[in-house]
Amino acid sequence: MKTYRIAVIPGDGIGKEVVPAAIDVLNKVALLDGRFQFEWTTFPWGCDYYLETGSMMPENGIEILKQYDQIFLGAVGMPELVPDHISLWGLLIKIRREMQQSINVRPAKLLQGLPSPLRQPNGFDFIVVRENSEGEYAESGGRIHSGQDEIAIQNAIFTRKGTERAMRYAFELAKARRQHVTSATKSNGITYSMPFWDEVFSEIGKEYEDVGKTSNHIDALADFLVMKPDNFDVIVASNLFGDILTDLGGAIMGSIGIAPAANINTEGVFPSMFEPVHGSAPDIAGRGIANPIGQIWTGKMMLDFLGYEEAGTHILNSIESTLTQGIKTPDLGGTATLREVTDAVLQYLESVYQ
């Protein structure tokens, strides 16, 4: 039996609630499947750790994480006590950058049992491939002068290597799906980086003759995701555009609380990190009503990544069965608790494997 050593960082707020729920589900699948098991090691890193020690993770945190197969993270953030730029850059973004998790994969799909706020969702099912290491979120720029003369400069960095990597990842993904990639651009407004982005999309696209290609400006794309989301298969986007589009993806599914994500180290040199799209939701933390589906679906993405796609499909089916039965947390208009949703998912899984 294969054993996977997983580093667990529940983080802050509802991260501490949804991560144990998803681990229950993954352990159950492992037990029922019988081919693999998980060995979880939990690290108490996050804002509480920062308030005690002055840093979000220990100095050798990255070295510690390198010893694990993958990382399973909840959410970070305690904005009332720790500024967001400290909490996110001190842990989440540090891990993404230093472990070269250069691709962020975020699916959005109309789930059975969950009405979309859209009038005509038409069974949409798309995946956003977001460049995760550079672009508009590059640490390049500075601030000079003060008062009326103050200047802030933020450079967007687009390397050929990073851009090609994102494009290739998107095309490879589309080959195994419905064979279409849409590129999110803004070359009518951004004069250097986006025309470059378009050129690389066109060049890499030539390597994938059988895959359809469309380029949409980001403003039009935001409109299309609401008006005709079923038109999309794989969308490739820069760091900022992908970040925004995927919150929209969560919203049209019904709640940000169900949206999953994976940060992939494409070279396989470092662990990849699996974390839902949502944050630490301080407004509902500690009440047992957080929606665990985003974290559970993120666990399914980890299983897919490890090569157990059938087991992953069982998890998604269990989520849809739970929603179809009307067992929903308040963010989806229901009254169920996190525990009730998790138990329903576990129960359905038992029935699948019987």
Ligand X SMILES: NC(=O)c1ccc[n+]([C@@H]2O[C@H](COP(=O)([O-])OP(=O)(O)OC[C@H]3O[C@@H](n4cnc5c(N)ncnc54)[C@H](O)[C@@H]3O)[C@@H](O)[C@H]2O)c1
Tell me the torsion sign for CA atoms 74, 255, 226, 229. Answer: positive
When binding is defined by CB under 6 A, the residue of 28, 130, 165, 278 that contacts ligand X is 278
User: Is residue 239 part of the contact set for ligand X (CB under 6 A)?
Assistant: no
Decide: helix, strand or coil at residue 318. helix
User: Is residue 81 part of the contact set for ligand X (CB under 6 A)?
Assistant: no
Phi, then psi, of 190 in degrees rounded to 5: -105, 115
Residues numbered 142-181 forming contacts with ligand X, rule: CB under 6 A = none
When binding is defined by CB under 6 A, the residue of 32, 64, 88, 248 that contacts ligand X is 88
User: Is residue 284 part of the contact set for ligand X (CB under 6 A)?
Assistant: yes
Contacts of 172 (CB under 8 A, 6+ apart): none
DSSP 8-class letter at 135: B
DSSP 8-class letter at 223: H
User: Is residue 281 part of the contact set for ligand X (CB under 6 A)?
Assistant: yes
Cα(233)–Cα(173) distance, rounded to whole angstroms? Answer: 9
What is the smallest separation between the CB atom of 54 and ligand X, expressed in angstroms?
18
Are the CB atoms for 107 and 126 separated by under 8 Å?
A: yes
Cα(69)–Cα(65) distance, rounded to whole angstroms? Answer: 9
What is the smallest separation between the CB atom of 77 and ligand X, expressed in angstroms?
2
Of 174 and 293, nearer to ligand X (C-beta) is 293
- Judged by CB under 6 A, the stretch of 33-41, 52-60, 176-184, 281-289 that binds ligand X is 281-289
Decide: helix, strand or coil at residue 297. helix
Are the CB atoms for 125 and 110 separated by under 8 Å?
A: yes
Of 218 and 290, nearer to ligand X (C-beta) is 290
- Judged by CB under 6 A, the stretch of 48-56, 106-114, 286-294, 318-326 that binds ligand X is 286-294
How many residues interact with ligand X (rule CB under 6 A)? 24
Contacts of 152 (CB under 8 A, 6+ apart): 141, 142, 143
User: Is residue 291 part of the contact set for ligand X (CB under 6 A)?
Assistant: yes
User: Is residue 80 part of the contact set for ligand X (CB under 6 A)?
Assistant: no
Dihedral, 27, 32, 34, 35 alpha carbons, nearest 10:
-70
What is the smallest separation between the CB atom of 83 and ligand X, expressed in angstroms?
9
What is the smallest separation between the CB atom of 340 and ligand X, expressed in angstroms?
14
Q: Residues interacting with ligand X, by CB under 6 A?
A: 14, 18, 75-77, 79, 84, 88, 92, 256-257, 275, 278-284, 290-291, 294, 329, 331
